Structure 1
Amino acid sequence: MTRTDASDRLNRLDLIEARLKSGEALILADLAAELGVSRRTLSRDIALMRARGVPVEADRGRGGGIRLSARWGVGRMALSYDEAIDLMISLAVAEQLQSPLFMANLGSVRQKLVASFGPRQRAQVARLKSRILVGQHASNPTRESLAPVDATAIRRLHRAFVERRLLQITYSAPERPPTSRVIEPQFLHYNAPVWYVLAWDHLRQDVRTLRCDRITNAQPLGETFELRPFSLFEPALEGDHVLQ
């Protein structure tokens, strides 16, 4: 089989699987015509899909048809690095909540996700749970002032948080001009539905608590930082050092 033939077949297998996952019951003859292959070729493709673990069921009869088994569950998922980071943070939040609703399979899901990272990244994600804090619900005035987040800035914040990289941001506090500052995102703090980052602020050389919905223009820098003692940030949880 040539490289082109192999590529065509892989693309065809992906297309067949996507069609099956849509819930359609597919007629073999119609599908073969749509894909521009013979029924024999299509039958070989289906046999290969079964060998790869996709539970394809076939109807007997002249027309023939294929569908996914009713027992088919979640298959393999391909996550980007940023998606995996977001999921790790979400799992850490769920672990901190200690809700029975979330705990049934949380451990095994976390283990599988950690295993998908490389050795260096595994060391970084190992301490995520201890760096994510869940507090009380935000006050009504705070909830009412909540603004839509800058999705790109938050994605970069998450990456800098996990990789322990300095982050340059623009921060906008009420009735103050926006400021550019370099921070160490040491902890994330959730007062539903508001997220804060507990940071060491290089501009002030002090602890600051920054609302994530007020962060824009985030740019991770090459320099990394060491985790500072949590005791340094405890006063910030009681309202000190907060840039509301």
Structure 2
Amino acid sequence: MARANTHNRLRRLELLAVQLKQDAHCTVRDLAQQHGVSMRTIARDLVLMRDQGMQIDADRGRGGGVRLDRNWGVGRMNLTYAEAVDLLISIAVAEQMKSPMLLANLASVRRQLVASFSPEKRNKVNQLKSRILIGVTASTYVQASASAPPKRIVQAVHQAFVDQKVLELRYQREDGVISNRQIEPQYLLLKYPIWYVVAIDRLRNEPRTFRCDRMLGASMGETRFKLLPKEKFQPSLVIDDSSM
């Protein structure tokens, strides 16, 4: 329990530093409510942050706010492993799309992130990157019907993909037919701006491709699946946009 409390406090301190740097005006009361702790706890956190050398300014008087000097900590970034993995994968996607804009420093960021991982975690990240595929840009027909999937669905797909666990779906085809599916999210395919899940459909025991914005519901199950070679899914990777 003590270890969990320590971890929670360290994470709260990181979030407080980011929040105080971004927000123009935060009160101790507001911070306590947002983080679900007492005002006394936040006050102790602020004292500890000052002891660590952070430039925290406070306005005197009732309702006074606290803030972190915006010039403090330039170049510092504390990420959890999951956050670092997401950032690395996002960089890999940007690099695969070969856009000339905003790529100048991505290689340096990627090297620094990779260097912070153990060899075991580095291998895991490389495997995840190899499961993300970039296709041609979606047709105007598909783009016209596209919509952003809800955050809860995105999170469920993401977690099932990373953990290699079966994903339970409520899915709507283009013709409006809705069905419940159990799929193994083997690969993710981006045909900008549409994301597809390339999977084994357990209902048919065959490869199928599912548009993320057609998912009406998604939840991760407990069953793990075995990763299959990309070659098994080659027919599914050639998507006829008009049939999706």
TM-score, scaled relative to structure 1 = 0.66
In the TM superposition, residue 214 of structure 1 has moved relative to its aligned partner by 0.8
Task: Tell me the alpha carbon deviations over residues 68-96 of structure 1, each in whole angstroms, 9 at most, x when there is no partner.
Answer: 36475254445594x55543432231131
Q: Which amino acid aligns with 1:219?
A: S
Q: Which amino acid aligns with 1:178?
A: I
> Which residue in 2 is equivalent to 1:140?
140
CA contact (8 A) 2:135 2:190 kept: yes
Identical positions, percent? 37
Task: Tell me the alpha carbon deviations over residues 24-66 of structure 1, each in whole angstroms, 9 at most, x when there is no partner.
Answer: 8xxxxxxxxxx99xxxxxxx95xx7566353579xxxxxxxx9
> Which residue in 1 is equivalent to 2:215?
215
In the TM superposition, residue 239 of structure 1 has moved relative to its aligned partner by 2.8
Q: 1:104 to 1:51 in 2, by over 3 A?
A: farther
Q: Which amino acid aligns with 1:104?
A: A
Unaligned runs of 5+ in 1: 1-9, 25-34, 37-43, 58-65
Distance in structure 1 (CA, Å) of the matches to 2:85 and 2:218 = 17
> Which residue in 2 is equivalent to 1:61?
none
Distance in structure 2 (CA, Å) of the matches to 1:13 and 1:202 = 42
In the TM superposition, residue 223 of structure 1 has moved relative to its aligned partner by 1.6
In the TM superposition, residue 180 of structure 1 has moved relative to its aligned partner by 1.0
In the TM superposition, residue 203 of structure 1 has moved relative to its aligned partner by 0.8
Distance in structure 1 (CA, Å) of the matches to 2:91 and 2:113 = 10
Distance in structure 2 (CA, Å) of the matches to 1:118 and 1:69 = 32
CA contact (8 A) 1:236 1:242 kept: no
CA contact (8 A) 2:141 2:242 kept: no
Q: Which amino acid aligns with 1:99?
A: S
1:34-113 map, 5 Å: 45=47, 49=49, 52-54=52-54, 68=69, 70=71, 73=74, 75-77=76-78, 81=82, 86-110=86-110, 113=113
Distance in structure 1 (CA, Å) of the matches to 2:236 and 2:175 = 21
> Which residue in 1 is equivalent to 2:4?
none
SS in structure 2 at match of 1:216: strand
Q: 1:15 to 1:175 in 2, by over 3 A?
A: closer
Task: Tell me the alpha carbon deviations over residues 179-201 of structure 1, each in whole angstroms, 9 at most, x when there is no partner.
Answer: 11111111111111111111111
> Which residue in 2 is equivalent to 1:193?
193
> Which residue in 1 is equivalent to 2:6?
none
Q: 1:144 to 1:51 in 2, by over 3 A?
A: same
Distance in structure 1 (CA, Å) of the matches to 2:207 and 2:222 = 21
In terms of Rg, which structure is larger? 1
Distance in structure 2 (CA, Å) of the matches to 1:14 and 1:232 = 43
Task: Tell me the alpha carbon deviations over residues 152-201 of structure 1, each in whole angstroms, 9 at most, x when there is no partner.
Answer: 11111011111111111111102242111111111111111111111111
In the TM superposition, residue 208 of structure 1 has moved relative to its aligned partner by 0.6
> Which residue in 2 is equivalent to 1:227?
227
Distance in structure 2 (CA, Å) of the matches to 1:205 and 1:94 = 33
Distance in structure 2 (CA, Å) of the matches to 1:241 and 1:225 = 28
Unaligned runs of 5+ in 2: 1-9, 26-38, 41-45, 58-66
Distance in structure 1 (CA, Å) of the matches to 2:16 and 2:179 = 49
TM-score, scaled relative to structure 2 = 0.66
Distance in structure 2 (CA, Å) of the matches to 1:158 and 1:17 = 25
In the TM superposition, residue 224 of structure 1 has moved relative to its aligned partner by 1.4
SS in structure 2 at match of 1:127: helix
Number of corresponding residues: 210
